[in-house]
Amino acid sequence: MDNKEKFRGLCLEVLPLINGIAETVKRNGYETMASLTTKGDDYFSFSIHGSDWKMGKVNGGPVNMRYEYEEEIQLQDQRQEKMAYNKAFENLVEISLVYVGMLEEHRRLNNVDRITWEQLFVQWANDFEAVQASIDWSQEEYLEEIGKFARNKILEYVGLEG
C-alpha cells in the first residue's frame, strides 16, 4: 500500500505538468500524440507523433533538437511476415471483441496498458486453441465458449470476479 500512496502522490504532482504539456502541444497546432521519456537529470526525449523533429538530452549533455530522416530498406531476399487467418487469429479477434464490450461496464480495464493487453490476448488466443483444438464445435458453441473464456481471463487479470 505504501507504493500505491507514493504513486498517487506522484500522480497528483505530475498531472498539472502533463496537462500543461498537452495544452501547449495543442496550442501550437499539433493534434496528435506527444511522448516524453525522462531519467533523472541526465536524459529526456520529447517527440510529437508524425513529426520528424525530436528534442532530447543525453548523458547530462546539452538539450538538442534533431531531425530524424528515416527510409525503409529491404534486401532482395528479405521477406516481410504476413498475418495468416487461422484459429489462433480468430481467437485473438474474439478475445479483443469481448474486451471492447467489457470496457464500459468495467472501467478498471483501462488501468492496464495496451501493450500488456495485446500480449495477454495473444497468449490467451494460443492457450484457448491449444486446449480446445480437438473439439468439433459448431460456430455458435465456439463463439460462446471463447467469449466465456475471454471474459473470465480478463476479469481474473484485473482482480474482478466474473
According to the model, what pLDDT value does residue 1 have?
61
Query: What is this structure's pTM?
Result: 0.49
pLDDT of residue 64: 92
Determine the pLDDT at residue 77.
64
Look-up of cell digits 468439433? 136
Over the chain (162 residues), the average pLDDT of each successive run of 10 is: 87 93 92 89 89 88 88 70 81 92 88 90 90 72 88 90 65
Please report how the helices 114-132 and 87-102 are oriented relative to each other, as an axis angle in degrees rounded to 10.
Answer: 130
Exposure class string for 133-159: b at 16+ Cβ within 10 A, else e? eeeeeeeeebeeebeebbbebbbeeee
CB 34 within 8 A of CB 49: yes
